[in-house]
Amino acid sequence: MTAEEIIAEVDEAFVELPRPGMPAGFVPSGKLGNPGWDAVEYHRARAFADLVPALVKNVLEQPRKYLPRFLQDLGDSARLRVFTPRHLRASATRR
């Protein structure tokens, strides 16, 4: 599959998720502007699932930079529990 096909499949798989009305994460005191801080880790499971299409795009564009962190984020079992089988298949699609 091409990168464009993968992105389309992921977008389609995650489109049915309800979008959070309020920001699902928060910025801990002293972390704003810190290049070592990762905002994704503070997002709850449903909000993380909402970010997956954008994260997949980052991984496809710059795998060395984004793949290790993406895999680490996917390792959180609480996050994966909100994924449907379709979400899991789309997230695991290979190029």
Query: Strand, coil or helix: what is 17?
Result: coil
Residue 11 near residue 49, CB atoms below 8 Å:
no
- pTM, two decimals, is 0.68
* 43 — pLDDT class (breaks 50, 70, 90): confident
d(CA 26, CA 71): 22
Higher pLDDT, 74 or 20: 74
